[in-house]
Amino acid sequence: MVSVMFVCLGNICRSPTAHGVFQQMVETAGLAAHIQVASSGTSAYHIGEPPDRRAQQAAKQRGYNLSGISAQQVSLDDLETFDYILAMDKSNLTALKQLAPVNHHRKLKLFMSFAQLQPHTQEVPDPYYGGTDGFAQVLDLVEVAAQGLLQQIRQEYQL
């Protein structure tokens, strides 16, 4: 079983969007028995809350369901257990590196490093304080990076 965790600040916008999109891609590919998907936040601001309603609405318009996801904070156990721990931006990657023991730093990456975009975008911007267009942009980026991630996992684990 390969495990993937997506991480943003509060786990209500970007990381649950990535969670829902990637989960659906995994299921569509018939790999749900091989790939575990989760998401969390580096902060405890929204523990137990569902994804932001704007994130859910944007996802629903593209056929993704985020309703079963609730915010949680990343733990030391997560850092030991998950194979891929993917931050939405450099700030959260830094926070993860400060939390994780050095021997787990190899698991920590920017999610957008899996995207095959030109020009390459390194971060998924936080849409929380903006309008609905920001949530659509998050989905655009997440879909591309999720495809690249799934391709990487399939190659690496021969799935």
Strand pairing category for 84-87 and 35-41? unpaired
- What secondary structure, in 3-state letters, does 37-68 show? EEEEECCCCCCCCCCCHHHHHHHHHCCCCCCC
Among residues 52, 77, 126, 154, the one annotated as catalytic is 126
**Contacts (Cβ under 8 Å, ≥6 apart) of 46:** 10, 11, 12, 71
| Six-digit token string for 55 | 């994130």
53 is catalytic: no
Instruction: Provide the Cα torsion 103, 9, 124, 153; round to 10°.
Output: 40
Q: Of 50, 51, 108, nearest to 78 (Cα)?
A: 108
Query: Catalytic annotation on 8?
Result: yes
**Active-site entry in 13, 14, 54, 78:** 14
Task: State the catalytic residue, choosing from 8, 13, 52, 89.
Answer: 8
Q: Active site includes 133?
A: no
* Rounded-to-integer distance, Cα 138 and Cα 112, Å: 11
Q: Which residues are catalytic?
A: 8, 14, 126
